[in-house]
Amino acid sequence: MFFRIIAIISLLGSFGWLTYLHFLRKLTTSGMELKKNLFRGYLSWLGRQVSERFRPSSWPPLFHSIVKKWSELYPSLWLRWSVAGLVLSFSYLAVSGFVFALFTSRGIFGLPLFFHVIAGGIFAVCLAVVLFFRAKGYAFLGPKTGFAATATRTLRSAVSRLPLPPVLFWLFVISGFFLAATSLLSMLPYFSYKTQLGLIETHRYSALVSLITAILFFDTMIVSENK
């Protein structure tokens, strides 16, 4: 129950925060003036956005814009399909895992669990491939901002200069590592029942962190860049 509350609040909070930022950005770029208060204007704008997204006619342009940005970010064909495998496997893991965690009284079981395990293996392999070939592109410090450059600044100044995509990338990698590790360790018959419960809880919270990080990364790299 405690995890359900944290997960629902975190996911709804992330959705509300991101949509509110897009609403404010829309106000700034369009110069639109509100005839009512800001919060009511946000709710009205959000309602229009949701209704537009559920129209089938809006899906092809959205899909094409995502594919175009995806192709620009990953021009290499093999890397592009590695990212596609990572996204598709993670999408199934997130949907199947959180549906059972939030809306049932027991853990995932049956065929959903079988495909969950298969998707987990694909996710781990694709994550390793993407990490091996893209880690350098998401380095925190460039050649001119190494230890010698940051040593003369305060820690707050150095942290404030960290770009958001690398932070999100490495958070996703670390949480993905915990997802794979806890999943693998929970299958081994070497741990007590109490330790197994701890592994399950760690797996759940790692999944929550990775999902929120993935949403923020998608919004930063795909959605916001297409606006």
Rounded to 10 degrees, the C-alpha dihedral 171/183/98/43 comes to: 0
Average pLDDT over residues 15-20: 91
Name the least confident of 19-23, 113-117, 167-171: 19-23
Of 61 and 136, the structure prediction assigns the larger pLDDT to 136
CA distance 179 to 98: 14
| Confidence check: pLDDT of 178 > 90 | yes
| Average confidence (pLDDT) over 97-117 | 89
Query: In Å, how far from its chain's centre is CA 51?
Result: 24
Residues 6+ apart with CB under 8 A from 70: 80, 83, 84, 222
Q: Which among 96, 123, 121, 122 is positioned nearest to 110, based on CA atoms?
A: 96
Residue 146 CA to residue 171 CA, distance in Å, equals 21
Residue 73 CA neighbour count, 13 Å, CB half: 24
Torsion angle defined by CA atoms of residues 170, 214, 126 and 106, in that order, rounded to the nearest 10 degrees? 110
| Sequence-separated (6 or more) residues with CB below 8 Å from residue 193 | none
CB-CB contact of 170 with 214 (8 Å): no
Return the biggest CA–CA distance within the chain: 64
User: Residue 107 has what pLDDT?
Assistant: 80
Dihedral (CA of 12, 222, 160, 90) sign: positive
Most confident of 17-21, 22-26, 218-222: 17-21
> Quick one: residue 34, left, alpha or beta (phi over 0 = left, psi -120 to 50 = alpha)?
beta
24-38, 41-55, 125-139, range with the lowest pLDDT: 24-38
CATH class of residue range 61-226:
mainly alpha
Residue 116 CA to residue 213 CA, distance in Å, equals 20
| Band (31; pLDDT cuts 50, 70, 90) | low
- The answer to whether 98 and 142 are in contact (CB under 8 A) is no
Q: Which of 25-29, 125-129, 186-190 has the highest mean pLDDT?
A: 125-129
pLDDT of residue 225: 58
Average pLDDT over residues 196-211: 93
- The pLDDT score that the predictor gives to residue 154 is 53
- Per-domain residue ranges for the chain? 1-54, 61-226
For residue range 40-98, list pLDDT tens digits in order: 888 888 888 888 777 777 777 777 887 887 777 777 888 888 999 999 999 999 999 99
- C-alpha distances out from residue 61 to 36, 67, 146, Å: 31, 10, 42
Most confident of 54-68, 104-118, 160-174, 202-216: 202-216
Residue 214 scores a pLDDT above 90: yes
Angle at CA of residue 23, ends 37 and 140, nearest 5°: 135
